[in-house]
């Protein structure tokens, strides 16, 4: 079928054959499909949606537009997680080494910060020497020997998705559940996974702030992933408050490593990480069920085995061999580190709520995120010691790590404006499990 006829069919709410979807994506790669036609089909999908069968076909076509990794020599325990993004979300740094310590393999291909949310790669670039873009041989060796490697996406994985996303980004068609689903899963399928667990965030710091919208996306991801042959479950998790007590890059690395070493509290980060780990171990047969998976993950964390794997991964990818032991000597530190309190006339009586998205934007204002794709990041800046929900009403709201007085003051103003009186309720860290 001609590209314009495929666009016409979707415009007129007619079902698309998998062969036609595959041909359209092939045309994206060989440039026989024009950018205008990609934009038109994206808008037609945005307006009219896709059936599950169509979404599976699109996901597989995007996957097959480039390299599909093969980990068959490692057996069935190749697994990963994907998060829809949040503030203070450093789960990956703790989760991947825990799974590796339990006998799994985690070839985690991560991204940079997007909008107000932080990026896993930006966090790892806080570590001197850590290579987020190793060659394929190094990537495979580290996954096989250590059990986990967290790196950036290569251009060979689902390259058609990058082209399509670039057009969606400038044509107001990003917020389409089937297109988001195909974009996320095509890259995970191309990574050669045998199982996937999704962390779908809900709340003021999430892209999907509304619970119903988050559930719709999670359900689509689970159904399409399983339809494409990759066992997948999803957890809806709370992002109405920063996940860790830190938001930034080096400060989040410090928070994660402290949890791995047993030095920090981080109760919500610990709970969500272990819940995801339990599902990951169960889905690839390293545990009989999530309950047993939870016990194994807890043991890997409490014994220090997860911390040991994290240190091995850092060293294998070019970082310091003693990073776990001497973390504070290696991580960059900001010029200004100062507590932030409420204004004297503010009226809050304990129990705190943040507009969490604003905290993410404060990190960007400090220089810890990007306003343009070409912007450099200051890895040292950010927020630490963020007040918990059960705040005592007197302690600082947070500690700001800034490079100068001007950015400190701008971030302080935004953070103070983001503070709300809490309602006394603490939502569950994990509110729902979605599976077939």
Catalytic, out of 183, 204, 245, 384:
183
Distance CA 126, CA 93 (A): 13
Confirm whether 126 is a catalytic residue: no
The rounded radius of gyration (Å) of the Cα atoms in the chain is 22
User: Annotated catalytic, 431?
Assistant: no
168 carries an active-site annotation: yes
In the set 188, 215, 270, 389, the catalytic residue is 188
Which is catalytic among the residues 59, 65, 83, 126?
Answer: 83
- Please pick, among 120, 219, 237, 353, the residue that the annotation labels catalytic: 120
Q: Please state whether 176 falls in left (phi above 0), alpha (psi between -120 and 50) or beta.
A: beta
Report strand pairing: 195-202 vs 232-238. parallel
Our answer to whether residue 401 is catalytic in this structure is no
| C-beta of residue 410 within 8 angstroms of C-beta of residue 336 | no
Q: Within a 10 A sphere around the Cβ of 141, how many other Cβ atoms?
A: 14
Our answer to whether residue 187 is catalytic in this structure is yes
Catalytic residue among 63, 168, 270, 296: 168
Q: How far is CA 213 from CA 68, 85, 206, in A?
A: 30, 15, 11
Catalytic residue among 20, 64, 80, 161: 80
Strand-strand pairing, 419-421 and 336-340: unpaired
* Secondary structure class of 309 (helix, strand, coil): helix
Catalytic residue, candidates 63, 116, 140, 187? 187
Which residue of the set 10, 63, 81, 414 is catalytic? Answer: 81
Annotated catalytic residue: which of 82, 140, 268, 270? 82
Rounded to whole angstroms, the Cα distance separating 162 from 25 reads: 12
Question: In 147-210, which ranges are continuous DSSP H helix?
Answer: 159-169, 177-190
Annotated catalytic residue 347? no
296 counts as catalytic: no
**Residue 247 pairs with which residues in a beta bridge?**
383
To the query of whether residue 35 is one of the catalytic residues in this protein, the response is no
Active-site residues, by number, are: 80-83, 120, 168, 183, 187-188
């Amino acid at each position: 079928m001609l590209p314009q006829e495929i666009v016409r069919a979707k415009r007129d709410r007619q079902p698309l054959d998998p062969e036609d979807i595959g041909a359209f994506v092939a045309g994206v790669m060989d440039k026989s499909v024009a950018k205008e036609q990609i934009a038109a089909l994206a808008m037609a999908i945005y307006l009219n949606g896709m059936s599950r069968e169509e979404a599976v076909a699109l996901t597989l076509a995007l996957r097959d537009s480039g390299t599909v990794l093969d980990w068959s020599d490692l057996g069935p325990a190749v697994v990963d997680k994907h998060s829809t993004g949040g503030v203070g979300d450093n789960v990956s740094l703790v989760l991947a080494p825990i799974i590796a310590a339990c006998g799994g393999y985690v070839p985690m291909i991560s991204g940079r910060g997007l909008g107000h949310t932080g990026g896993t790669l930006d966090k790892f670039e806080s570590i001197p020497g850590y290579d987020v873009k190793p060659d394929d041989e190094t990537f495979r060796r580290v996954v096989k020997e250590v059990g986990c490697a967290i790196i950036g996406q290569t251009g060979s994985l689902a390259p058609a998705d990058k082209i399509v996303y670039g057009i969606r980004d400038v044509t107001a068609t990003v917020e389409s559940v089937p297109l988001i689903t195909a974009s996320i899963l095509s890259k995970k399928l191309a990574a050669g996974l045998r199982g996937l667990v999704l962390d779908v965030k809900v709340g003021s710091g999430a892209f999907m702030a509304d619970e119903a919208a988050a559930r719709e996306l999670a359900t689509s991801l689970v159904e399409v992933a399983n339809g494409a042959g990759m066992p997948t479950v999803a957890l809806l998790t709370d992002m109405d408050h920063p996940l860790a007590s830190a938001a930034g890059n080096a400060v989040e690395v410090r928070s994660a490593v402290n949890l791995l070493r047993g030095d920090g509290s981080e109760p919500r980060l610990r709970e969500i990480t272990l819940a995801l780990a339990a599902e990951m171990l169960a889905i690839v047969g390293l545990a009989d069920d999530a309950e047993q998976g939870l016990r194994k993950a807890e043991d890997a964390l409490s014994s220090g085995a997860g911390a040991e794997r994290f240190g091995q991964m850092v060293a294998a990818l070019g970082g310091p061999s003693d990073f776990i032991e001497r973390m504070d000597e290696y991580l960059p530190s900001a010029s200004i580190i100062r507590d932030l309190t409420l204004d004297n006339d503010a009226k809050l009586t304990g129990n705190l709520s943040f507009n969490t998205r604003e905290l993410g934007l404060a990190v960007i204002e400090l220089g810890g995120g990007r306003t343009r794709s070409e912007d450099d990041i200051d890895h040292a800046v950010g927020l630490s010691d963020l007040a918990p929900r059960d705040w005592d009403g007197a302690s600082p709201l947070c500690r700001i790590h800034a490079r100068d007085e001007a950015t400190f003051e701008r971030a302080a103003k935004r953070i103070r404006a983001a503070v709300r009186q809490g309602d006394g309720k603490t939502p569950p860290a994990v509110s729902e499990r979605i599976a077939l």
